[in-house]
Amino acid sequence: MNFKNFTLNSLFAAGTLLALPMQAQHSNEFYNDGALVHIEAGAEVHVLGDVHMNQATGTLENNGLLKVQGNMYSDELFQQRGTGTTLLENSDVNIGERQFISGSYAVRGGSAQTGVNDGSFYNLEINNDQGFVYLVNSGAGATPQYVADVRGSINFDPQNLGPTNATSIVTSDIGMTGPITYPANGSAYTAEFGMMNVAAGQGNYINDTWHQSGNNNLSIQDNGYIIGKHRRAISPVGGTYGYFIGLEPGAAVANNGTSRGFQYTHFVFGANTYDVLSGYFEAGSPNNTAGAAIECSGYDMDDFWGNRHGEWMFDDINNVTNGGTYEIRVWPQDPTTPWVGSVWTISKDDVFLYPSPNPLHNDCDVAPTNLKRTGFEDFSAFGVLSGTIFLEAQITDLAATAINNRFIKVDWTTSKEVNVDHFVIERSTDDANFSPITTHAAVGNSQVSQSYFIDDAAVLPNINYYYRVKTVEVDGTTEYTHSVVATLVKDGNVQTVNLFPNPIAEGNATLEIVSTIDKETSIVIYDAIGQLILSKEITVQKGLNTHSLETNDWPSGIYYVHINNAQSSTVKELIKSE
């Protein structure tokens, strides 16, 4: 059966049209009990009631627009194909009711089942006047938790009404009318919404909280996201995959004290063997027994925020292990007490100190929002840590400099030392996997600055060498610095790049480039999610070159400054603080 344009205001079964009163809103049904229904491209079918899709032979091939003003039911056998759009809204009938999707409008399994055993939507748009479309787990079939997936995109505000009018998806049965009782934690939500489009990025999520609130300022609204469980298909080539998840909405103000609301996070994958990554947010996690680690250039990371904020819980639906390392970034919102901490980092598995292949990497920042952590592999619980105690040995300056294109000099300064035994200098070629190359004795106890250096001649040209220094105290306590990088260039061109102040709160950052030759150079700056902030061409002359970077209009966060020319490429990380 082919549809071009049709409005269903009565009960419709495959091949049968029975007139019923318009006011019987949920009886005005589109009922398919095993037929192939085709909606042509450019066609619209409006259903002023509910939709039922059943049987393995029941296939909806939607290449146009299916507009539903009631609820959507299916069994676990029904199939859906096509590249059209399904719109759930209640502008004409069922006004004042929440709408739901029940059954299996989903891919029934992992990515391999897409287009095989697949009842999923292509594009889904939701525009409910109560602000909620919810999913009902029918309990039928092998994968009853997978109630609704999309293979194209999800639009939370198809009329572009603005951030306070977006519709959220709730992956639990909250009822069509009356007060809403939400499950207390993500683990208690019985259904799941999926993005089975493997394309990386946030472009297949439209008019959600993240985009409408300006990325970092998430507390201005708590709508237009997935309340409960969400899964995403991951491409084997990797990319950035965002999770627009959280728990029940709180007040539309910062620090609403609910420990819930929208809790955005994303992963950055390289080549990997993960399939579909499922996640949710768990509020008030009690996991707080793992001790502490010395991190963030000497802070005692001893304050776990899982019990006042919560944790993100993730796993591959096929329990893939050793699938590849990744970076995670988190944007935690609204703990039960205001954030307190001098530095912040991310924990995994409720463990603070990670052996290889999950090293700490010194990934720290001055605020819990927009934190990143690299080098993790496989999945579990992710939370945030803060630290307020600074160790007695303080390294204030660390630099790596290529000298006469022959060796690299690493030098550092301590502002004071208390019971310091020695320093270990470590080197890496990927800024992730470091190995010790030498040790250096410490003065041990000093209240004035002490300067140290080593010369590393065991280096090859045209390779970036990263260095960090580990301070070892008399009692065995250790701390790491951040890393610095230097490179020897085979053709005799040596370039040193410095960026300061870093972090910067306001004003201009200064980019220093010291070069041994004249050359054309590009400066390209990206924010943490890969958006281009600045791109400009400059002429670098032999000697010292300085350039100002205006940061006043930049939101707080992490920025990556790329300095590229024909001879070399350097990346510096710049932190813009509040």
Phi, psi of 53 (to 5 degrees): -125, 125
Decide whether 391-486 matches 495-576 in CATH topology: yes
pLDDT tens digits, residue range 6-41?
Answer: 554 444 444 333 333 344 477 778 899 999 999 999
Cβ-contact 398, 447 below 8 angstroms: no
Q: Which of 531, 534, 530 is nearest to 547 (CA)?
A: 534
Fold for the domain defined by 391-486: Immunoglobulin-like (2.60.40)
pLDDT tens digits, residue range 432-478?
Answer: 888 999 999 998 877 678 899 999 988 888 888 999 999 888 888 88
- CA distance linking residue 436 with residue 454, whole number of Å: 13
Quote the DSSP letter at residue 564: E
pLDDT of residue 177: 94
- CA distance linking residue 43 with residue 301, whole number of Å: 59
Buried-exposed string 193-210: b where 16+ CB fall within 10 A, e elsewhere = bbbbbbebebebbbbbbb
Quote the DSSP letter at residue 358: S
End-to-end CA distance of the chain: 60
pLDDT of residue 292: 56
Cβ-contact 561, 525 below 8 angstroms: yes
pLDDT tens digits, residue range 200-210?
Answer: 988 899 988 77
pLDDT of residue 102: 97
pLDDT of residue 518: 84
Three-state secondary structure call for residue 186: helix
Strand-pair partners of 231: 194, 278
pLDDT tens digits, residue range 376-392?
Answer: 888 888 888 877 545 55
Domain boundaries, the chain: 96-282+314-336, 391-486, 495-576
pTM for the whole structure: 0.67
Structure tokens at 385: 């840590």
Strand runs (DSSP E) across 434-494, as ranges? 435-441, 450-456, 465-473, 478-480, 484-486
Task: Give residues with Cβ within 8 angstroms of 275, minimum separation 6.
Answer: 110, 111, 233, 234, 316, 317, 318, 320
pLDDT of residue 359: 47
CATH 2.40.50.140 is the classification of domain 495-576: no
pLDDT of residue 413: 86
pLDDT tens digits, residue range 53-106?
Answer: 999 999 999 999 999 999 999 999 999 999 999 999 999 999 999 999 999 999
- CA distance linking residue 54 with residue 154, whole number of Å: 24
Average confidence score pLDDT of the chain: 83
pLDDT of residue 252: 45
Omega before 338 within 30 of 0, i.e. cis: no
Average confidence (pLDDT) over 226-232: 96
pLDDT tens digits, residue range 488-502?
Answer: 876 555 567 888 888
Cβ-contact 502, 560 below 8 angstroms: no
- CA distance linking residue 441 with residue 20, whole number of Å: 90
Angle at 464 between CA 458 and CA 466, to 5 degrees: 80
Comparison of pLDDT for 15 and 136, the residue scoring more: 136
Least confident window among 266-275, 297-306, 364-373: 297-306
Q: Which of 565, 512, 562, 559 is nearest to 535 (CA)?
A: 562
